[in-house]
Structure formats: C-alpha cells, structure tokens
Chain A
C-alpha cells in the first residue's frame, strides 16, 4: 500500500488538520468516513440518469405492454430492479481495493472470455447478434457488456504496472513496446469473440477504449498514431471490400444516405429524428409523445431511448441528460486525474472512453449524425447486463477515488 503523500494532487485536501480524537470520530461517522468521501456528485448523477431512464423506458413500453394484456409497468420495474442490483454490484466494486483487484485482474479477464465463449455456444440470437445467454425467469445475460469492464481492468493492469514495479523513486514515463503489444493481444481476443456474435458496436467500444487508454498511458506516440492509421485503413477496407454483412453495412452507411424514410435502418433513424424534433424546447410531456406512444421508433426502450427523451422531455430534458452525462464524465476524469497511481488513472480513463464513445454514438445515432451500431445509452437504455456493467464501472471509479487522496485514513 502506498503511503505516499500527495504532493502531486492538484486539489488541496478538503480535510482540515485535526486532532487525533476528532480524526477518529470523523473516521467513524464524520466527513472522513469512506461513505462521505465517495464522489456523491457522480453517484447522484448516475442514479438520476438511471431513474430518468426508467421513466423513459416505461413511457416507451407501457402502451405496447398494455395492448398485449401485460403489466404496463413491467419494464419500469425491471429497470429499477436492474438499477438496484447494479448499485449493489457497484458497491462491491467500490469496497474491494482496486489494488487488490489488480491482482485478480487476470481472473476477471479470463472470466469474461469464458462468458464470451459460452455465449457463442449456448447463446441466443436477438436482432441479428448472437449476444445473449437466456436465463430462467425472463432474464438475459450479455457477456460482451462485462467484457468491457474486464478489458478496462486488464489493460489498466498492464499499462499501469510499470510504475509500481520499481520503487526507485523515478517513474518510468511510459509503457514499453512489449506492454503495448500485450495490451493489443489482450484486446484482440475478446474482439474476435464478439465479432463472431457479431456485435460490431461493442467491438468499436473495446477498440476506442483500448486506444484511449494506450494514448493516456503514455505509450509511444508512434504506437498511438500507427493504431489510429491502422483503424482508418481497416475501416476503409471493410467498406471497400464489403467484409461486413449487408445489414451491418447498411446500418453504417444509412446515416449518410439521403433516403432515410424508407424501411430498414434508415427508417429507425428517420423516425427517431422526427420524434426528437417534435419535442421542441419543452417537450410533449412524459407519456405524451405522439411518436413514442405510436411506437414509430423501433427499439425505443433500448438503443433509441434518447428519442423518447427528445420527444417527451424536449430540449430542456434531453439537453439535461447530455449535461448529466457530461458531469459523470467530468467527475470520472477528475478522479483519474487525482489518482495516486497509473492503474487508477487508467481505469478512470478506460471508463470515460467507454462511456463517452457509447453515449456519443448512441445519441449521435438518434440525431442522425452517427451510424446505427446498436449500442445502449449508458444508464438510460433498458438492459440488465449493460446496467450492471455500467454500475460496476462507476463502482470502480468510486474505488479509485476513495484511494486517490493523500489521505491517512484511506482504507
């Protein structure tokens, strides 16, 4: 355990110097308790987003469920249940010291690979992707969501390792070539497995997360630039030689094509844009969006949940969601910034890259400026696995935060 003071911490510690008794009391229940030192802004934003998500999912599904004779609140309840389970999982991820977690990182990583292999063997196909393991009682598990967490932890372990190995007092400035290669290897395996499902969106999340972590870790510049170049060339080759399934290619290209109103993927986007535009500044009011209640936007409780926000909550509501996401990402980056070690900083970086990419692509898709890739919007889209993975990621952020300060009372 590092007992280093935090001369590098930019912020002055909010903890005033006190007497020992006061410190003990504070530790028990006061402002220095771990509970207090959690980043509550982050946590409240996340919970707020999830609750808004629950309302949007409810609005998106109650009509259909009601018509089918089911309980109109099914999805609302499930989303809230997912949130609760997610919070528990997040708490676990917070409590275990991430430096201990690092020791188990290989197991976390291997566990996620097992899940990815299992889904290929026992999984079910939904919306063209073989990504789900169907569990009893109507629950489904999507191992690729957890692969995101595993990759973040695994890559952070390797890229952050150098700094911990030698207590020479001189930090090595960057991971070496070997580390970069190892991280690439670590990324390629889950990517290959997810490609087999195929779930192109998740693959892109993993690619950008790894790239972001490599860039921030201080990996050699030519690696970062080279990888970006490779990505561009690879992407060009995919489109040039039609390596994707036609429906995948259509999803990617439909956002630049003119005729969005036709059926197919362009239809989803066109309907989503209509819904959002109809929200105006103040929105139609929850449960009162005509597009939403007419169920014009397919997948409106999952990938296109933002269209519900756009129509029913308007610019104020949908913009508010973007702001909340911004606060989450801002806080996450601050946590990384304040982290004692590279491992913590890289975990935060990885989570930020993951959330940012997913949010931008998802909302951008609803707004017609990004291709349709089938990625959920963090915290808002309905989906258990996604919610759990997101909450574990938030838990990890809190974990890093708790242990980031020059804090004599750190756990």
Chain B
C-alpha cells in the first residue's frame, strides 16, 4: 500500500464520518426538534374520519312550499378498506354484486378505483375509508339481497342517503341552481373553514351556491382509530350531523308557475325551436324577487349524482337555446321603448321639460344623413310627455337625446376647448342601475352596458387595431360580397373615427336602441320598481330567511338598498301617471292588451317596448307595475325574436297579473301582496303553510265546504270556481283557494295580515260582506273571500 492510497483512504474515512454525522444530525432534527409536529401527524395518521353528510336544508317558496327538497335514495356502496383485504381484492364480491344490481363487474371495478392524475372518471375521488357508492336508487329487493347476505357481500353496504329532489321539475331552475362535488382546490383552500369533506356536495350555481353556508349544515364526523390496514380499533370521537337550514324565498310558487306557463305558451305559439323568453316579478317595496323565469330551462335533477357530459353539452348548446343560461338576469339587450321612462326623467329632471309642455311628435327626425321615424311613421302633433309615453312617440325623446348630444359637444370626444360633457342620459341610466350588476343574490349576473363618451373612446382604443386590419383585409370569410363590403366600409370608418360619439347611437339611446345601451330584464325590473316605489332602487333579493329545521328563524334577509333615483317625487309621479295611461287611455299602446282588465280595481302602469335587433325579429318588451296608484309588484317580460311589446310580452305580463291577483283564477298572492310572515316550520321539521297561522283565515272547512258558485255578472274579477284545494300541511288553503282579490286600496292593521282574506278600507269602492266564517270580524272591514263568492257591485267592474 502506497502513500497515495493512504491519503485516499484517509479521505474516504472523512467522507464516511461526515455521511454518518449527517444521518445523526438529521435524526436529531426529526426526533428531537420536530417531535411535536410529528406527534400530531401520527395522531391523524391513526385516526380515520368517517363522514355522515348533513341533510341539506330545503328551499321553500314564500309560503313554505318546497321548491327543492330531499328524498331518500337506497344506495349500494363498496367499502374498499374491506374488499382490498380479501384474497382476490374483492373480485368475487363485485362479480356477485354485478348480478344483483345489473351493472357489469368491469364497470363496478372502474367506479371504485381511486382517481389520480392518470385515472379519469369513472373513479372514486373520495377518501379510501369512505364507502364508494356504486348504485343509486336501487330497489328495496336489491338492497335486501345485499344486507341479508353479509357473508356473500363482505364490504358491501346498502344505506339510505338523501339526494336533492325537485318536485316541480325545471321550475325556477336558474334560480335554484344545483350541486356538484367539491373540487380538490376548494377543499385545499376552504376545506377547514367551511367544513368540506372529500366527497361533500356543494352548491355551484344559483341559490344553492349563494346560500351554500346556510343550506349545507355540518357533516357528522366519526373518528375511528385504525391500524394501517384500516382495521378499526376504537372510536375516538363522534359528532352528529347538523342539518342545514331551510331557505325561505320571496319567490312565490304560484306566480312562478303562472309566469313560466305563460312564457312557454308564448314560445309554443311562436313556433318553439331555440326561442327564448324571460320574465321578472319584483316586490317593488322590498326588491324581493317574486318570480323570475327564463325559458328554455332544465331539470336540475340531471345534476344529481353528477351530470353526464352529454347532458351538459345539450344544456349549453345554442341550438337548444342554452338552457343553462337565464335570460332574465344573465342576458342583456336593447330595451326599446320601455327605456323611455328614463328619457322622460332626464327630460324633466335635467333638461327642464314641464309636465304640461307640448312637444311635437313629428313623423320623422332628420339627424345628419339619418332619418329617425316614429313607429310606423305616425304623427301625433304637439303632445305632452305624458301622452308621449302613452302612445310611445319616439321622435320627441330622440330630439331630447340629440339636443343633449349637441350640447355635450356633438361628435367631439376627448379633451378639447369645451366644457366637460354632462351626459345626462348615460348618468341617469347608471342611476337607474343599468350598466352594473343589480346585486341580485345569485352568481353570474349580466351587467349590461351604458356607454358614455369616455366609454366609447375606451372601446375604440381596444378595437381599433382589429377595425383597421379589417378595413385593409376585408371579410373574406363572409360569403355574401355585398355584406362583406358593407362590413369592410364600416370597419374602415370605425378605424378612423370610431372614437367619436355617434349622433345616431346617442339619439337612439333615448328610445332604448343602439350600440350604447344594453340591459337585462332584471335591471329594467329594478328600475321600474324604483319608479313605482317613489325612488328607492333595491337590490333584488330571492332569499327571505333562513329557518332552522326545528323552526327557529336563524336569519332574515332584509331588503338591501342599492341607491335612490336622482329624480324628484313629482316627476316620478308624473311618469307613473303616464305609464298608467298606457293601459287605460285611448291610444295607449297596451290598452288593447288590458281592454278586459279591471283597471279600476287593479290599475296597471306599463310601458311596451319593441327593440329592433340586427338580423332577427324584434324583441318584445313589457315593463310594468301594479297597482298603478299604490304599486306592489313590478313585472317585466322579454320575448326576443317575436314582435311588438303589445303583441307578445304584454299578454304574458297580463297573465302574470291575473295569477297574482286571481283574475279568472285562484290568486297566487292573496290580498295582492306577499305573505307578511314566514312559513311556520314545525318542530318535527314538517312545514305548515303560512296562512295556517293566521287567526283570521277562514278554516279550510269553511272555504271549501261551499260549493255554491255565483257567476259574476260583469267584469272579470271573479271569485274563481277553482277546484278546492286539499287542506294539506304544505299547500294550505291559501295557495289554491278560489279567491278574488282587491287591490290594497287602503290598509288597516288587519290588512297587513296575509291569507286568503283581504281587508279593504271601508271607503273603498267595493265593500263586500264577510263570509259566514268571518262573521266576527270588525264590521268596517270588508272581506273579499272565496266562498261563498258574491258578485261585486256593478260599479266596480270595468265597463
């Protein structure tokens, strides 16, 4: 052995010692310094959690009728921690199970394998200690076959599980939303805070999403001590699941049903296809959403147990009208003449127009090389703004907008030697809540757009490059050369001066047209509600209260104010008067629709709208509220690709009002207002109808006992002979009770109560006698009741 080797052996010795020292140091870190941390880890290591999902709260309408509830489903599950320990890893058991539930064993094997980055569904994404559900809604026979032969099915169990059920199918699907399994990302970020577990279902759309915290409840957790193979050594702790709270809505089942039915009938009448239609009904005093519907809709039960890719594609397919999308709050477009209420407010509040001032409703208005026509080119001569609203004269409002545009500097847009533009129309639109989300308690609301001068410039800055490219290259993909040339010319103009504030578009703004304005039906409804209630812009709210399963009210959702209209009360009253004229005065655009409506009892204030849409039929709009003199409900209906507002949207709105007030049918809103109290949820979890708690409610026996019906001589407010409802605990007498109802002409203390009985002021035009069941009520208060119905005095009916 030479010296060179000796040196290298010495080096080797140093190397060996340093390696061992490294191990010793690492061991010290692990055993002494990190000891505490790892003790905790060891604890969780030995403890397995078995989660019992909490029963999710129901979603109830304003009267306690379930819109979403839970049903039990017999579910067969395979516990892998048992089957994996079998000699053949559960193969024989799965084969036997396959014959019982009629699913191929291969499929079962796929369902119980663990998901990884490589293994895609079908696979199990949950905890290995959680039994994997392999079959849902199995028959009791199948479940018994498993339960009664634990020897043949070791590791297989059959349990009752709660799954979401939608008793009314697709009703209000966009509002209710649906559930989906929690994602790994949510679990990582919010798992502890929100109490998610690996296979938790959480709301991902609609109310299920917004109020997930209220509805979900707290899962029960049983902590089991186990060894590595999952063999249970004991129970460390157990917490029982706490059911989620029920969510009571402002939404009313009856109104919602009537709304959807009316929309569906109209779509059918138009020829179906991928047509859409939507409607919103708000409580103008609170912003409560009484009904909101968009068709086509979908049955949320397709999401129960996981939506298939095919179903999801169908629900997102434009050829089907994108059923997943709610046009009521997620779509926006030109609002047409319904927007004229805003223009009237601008004219009177900002531009100094007076109520009795006359303006020329000429047949046309020439602006530059553009000519603006009245609808059908009609001329009405000099008229007031009131009349302009009633007959929907375009030119007068166009003129205001054009003048306003001129005063703001015309085309000029940007810095210049002139005073900053006032932009009254854009400002008033924003004050009405357009161009931003209303604050509805649902995710994914459309904001629409209000484009002022600065906005136009910003958009142009963003798009000019593409305009200029198109100006150069044209539209080679467009087959029609004439169209392609027209597009190219437009692009060429936009490339050069697209930032200018277009006179045509600014003028059309006043009549709810043009590229500077777009709004959703819900936005329009909130604006009309604000005009109706004297100027308060509410955030539309679906939820009314969260009620614990034992009936305790956990939380009430108070009306939320979004702003106040910058319009004086006198002007708002003037506008309301004009809108009332639309349905009642000669020449009013909606008088035809409401010709047979009892306007003297429930006057309707409304505005029709017919928005022109490039390449499609007109969008029919109808925006309204009632009663006109003491507004309670705002109704907006939108039917794209149809015709005028009076033709399509108007009749739908009328049907909605008929349902609300019980004209020719049962009143969905007895008393013409939403229930004043929350539905009573019994201690045992069953739900009593709202009105059952009302001491002044005639007992079901009274209201249903009578079979005598009197056909009303005149008019259409009838004590409708609707089939008597069963006095079930859920529907209660009020929901279907045959009622005719008066508007709240005045209110008394009693009138604030809910129920089929409606109190009216003694001074009202109609005084009805109390039905026998209510004989004990104060004499001064007339009660319009269902049975026995009496014909109203002749004076109350519309001639």
Contact = CB atoms under 8 A, between A and B. Distances in A.
Contacts of A341: 1
Contacts of B4: 173-174, 218
Interface in B37-61: 37-39, 41-42, 45-46
Contacts of B27: 276, 310, 315, 318-319, 322, 363, 367
A280 interface: yes
B32 A274 contact: no
Contact of B31 (A290, A294, A314, A340): A314
Interface in B1-42: 1-2, 4-6, 8-10, 12-13, 15-17, 19-20, 22-24, 26-28, 30-32, 34-35, 37-39, 41-42
A104 interface: no
Contacts, number: 135
B227 interface: yes
B232 to A, nearest CB: 12
Nearest to A281: B32
A141 B22 CA distance: 33
B227 A294 contact: yes
User: Which among A216, A336, A344, A369 has the highest number of chain B CB atoms within 10 Å?
Assistant: A216
Contact of A276 (B13, B30, B46): B30
B13 to A, nearest CB: 5
A330 interface: yes
Contact of B42 (A163, A291, A310, A336): A291
A218 B35 contact: no
A194 interface: no
Nearest to B38: A277
Interface in A192-228: 212, 215-218
B233 to A, nearest CB: 8
B9 A216 contact: yes
Nearest to B226: A294
Contact of A367 (B1, B13, B30, B35): B30
Interface in A264-299: 271, 273-281, 290-291, 294-298
A339 interface: yes
Interface in A334-365: 336-337, 339-342, 344-345, 349, 352-353, 356, 359-360, 363-364
B5 A342 contact: yes
Contact of B13 (A298, A314, A333): A333
B229 interface: yes
B479 interface: no
Contacts of A344: 1
B20 A325 contact: yes
A74 interface: no
B623 to A, nearest CB: 56
B280 to A, nearest CB: 48
B228 interface: yes
A330 B13 contact: yes
B276 to A, nearest CB: 47
B228 A315 contact: no
B84 to A, nearest CB: 12
Contact of B30 (A273, A325, A342, A352): A273
A278 B38 contact: yes
Contacts of A242: none
Contact of B28 (A218, A315, A340): A315
Contact of B228 (A273, A278, A281, A295): A295
Contacts of B12: 212, 215-216, 333, 349, 352-353
B16 A352 contact: yes
A392 interface: no
A111 to B, nearest CB: 28
A277 B28 contact: no
A329 interface: yes
B23 A296 contact: no
Contact of B16 (A310, A333, A342): A333
Contacts of B28: 315, 319
B45 A296 contact: yes
Contacts of B45: 271, 274, 291, 296
B2 A294 contact: no
B43 to A, nearest CB: 10
A356 B34 CA distance: 26
B198 to A, nearest CB: 13
Nearest to A218: B4
Contacts of B42: 274-275, 277-278, 290-291
Given A294-B228, A342-B1, A349-B12, A322 B23 contact: yes
A363 B23 contact: yes
Contacts of B24: 319, 322
A326 interface: yes
A340 B5 CA distance: 12
Given A280-B35, A294-B46, A314-B31, A337 B9 contact: yes
B31 A279 contact: yes
B1 A277 contact: no
Interface string A294-319: 11111000000000001000110011
A202 to B, nearest CB: 19
A241 to B, nearest CB: 20
Contacts of A318: 27, 31
A318 to B, nearest CB: 6
B39 A218 contact: no
A171 B20 CA distance: 34
A329 B23 contact: no
Nearest to A224: B8
Contact of A274 (B8, B9, B41, B229): B41
Nearest to A404: B1
A217 B12 CA distance: 12
Given A273-B30, A277-B31, A352-B16, A333 B9 contact: yes
Given A294-B227, A367-B26, A315 B9 contact: no
A275 B38 CA distance: 8
B34 A277 contact: yes
A390 B17 CA distance: 20
Nearest to B17: A326
Contact of A340 (B1, B16, B17, B34): B1
Contacts of A275: 42
Contacts of A294: 46, 227-228
A290 B12 CA distance: 39
Given A281-B31, A319-B27, 17 more contacts: A8-B1, A174-B4, A271-B45, A277-B37, A278-B35, A278-B38, A280-B35, A294-B228, A310-B27, A315-B31, A315-B32, A319-B28, A326-B16, A341-B1, A342-B5, A356-B19, A364-B26
21 contacts: A174-B4, A218-B2, A271-B228, A274-B42, A277-B31, A277-B42, A279-B31, A280-B31, A290-B46, A298-B228, A310-B27, A319-B27, A322-B27, A337-B6, A337-B9, A341-B1, A345-B1, A353-B12, A363-B23, A364-B22, A367-B30
Interface of A: 8, 163, 171, 173-174, 212, 215-218, 271, 273-281, 290-291, 294-298, 310, 314-315, 318-319, 322, 325-326, 329-330, 333, 336-337, 339-342, 344-345, 349, 352-353, 356, 359-360, 363-364, 367-369
6 closest A-B pairs by beta carbon, nearest first, are A277-B38, A294-B227, A296-B228, A216-B8, A315-B31, A295-B228
